A and B are shown apart, each in its own frame.
Chain A
């Protein structure tokens, strides 16, 4: 019995749980679609304007959809006591936290990636920019889940942690938003995007390395 085995078992358990709660699976995706549809209704269906705004709109909507689902990373495990059992298991907690965040991203982040090209097309984004949008979301949304896991770990013990969670996490999302949207804008005007992509990739590496450590420490505080 190795720690790697425990990592995979916990990942599988969380995916299995998501499948058992199938009715909730579509919610973040529907929310994402809804927010994006609100923009043309609000600012008018002027094609030029929508195209200009498209990168920002998709990214902000992805950010809000990620925020909306964050609580589910640890909330149910906290409430039924399985989180305690994870903390008193024989394996490094940061590693198990990473397994939970990956499962969460596969269930809530990946679906956004799949509908994003359709929505971007609605907004009149050109095909090259859509490719870059997908890549930037692929690199960026896991960072959102990872950073969010620290915030959730800190607030999971509070009865109404929702607003505090947003206030805590949204400022930390800003760099990802800036570089994600900037990459898409650059691609739309035919400029190279390697710089922004490298920075997003660097964020991802940094978050994968440090966020599980911080979240594990925060969980210890929340559970004591």
Chain B
């Protein structure tokens, strides 16, 4: 795997959501939603179940088209700028996105091949998430929490500057949640950015945490 030059790994983050609206089964989940995320910022989406948090994240990833509006990465629509965007964005959704027949190592290797390798090696990424000793066994034999950690290790092993996370703490134990919060702080502190949803209270020490509430008429 060839190294990515340093200039790429310090790429700044600039994501703009411009007047997005999402309609699902004739129901308007949100409309005219605009916000921007740049380096050093963390956005936490809040809202009751069914208010469109996951739909919004999938729109930001380009997996779903907004019914109106557009998402821009460094000023260009993400569909046009997809190589640059997808090299610097990583998404961990409800599904872990890892193959159970393959080991953690093999899974992360293919992720790096699809999205670009980061500064951290796969072994280092797995070690950071306390998965050392489990690199070589099929993830089929891991617990749900451990599989979640493999999925999250993808954030470290690839070159992602923008993390889009849908309920990242699912199945993690208390120690794991603290660990991941710590990684988030470090990532945002180092000029990365993050957009996430969570049912748990998120404890970040980053100064720039914004709460975006999708349930209108409800106190945040």
Contact = CB atoms under 8 A, between A and B. Distances in A.
Interface string A4-32: 01100110010011001100000000000
Contact of B97 (A6, A20, A81, A90): A81
A1 B117 contact: yes
Contact of A80 (B86, B91, B95, B115): B95
B55 to A, nearest CB: 10
Contacts of A192: none
Contacts of A21: 101
Interface in A73-126: 79-82, 84-91, 96
B4 A20 contact: no
Nearest to B107: A82
A89 B114 contact: yes
Given A17-B99, A17-B102, A81-B97, A88 B61 contact: yes
Given A5-B113, A13-B110, A88 B102 contact: no
B91 A224 contact: no
Contacts of B35: none
Interface in A181-224: 223-224
A88 B63 contact: yes
Interface in B69-96: 82-83, 86-87, 89, 91, 93-96
Nearest to B139: A80
A16 B97 contact: no
Interface of A: 1, 5-6, 9-10, 13, 16-17, 20-21, 79-82, 84-91, 96, 223-224
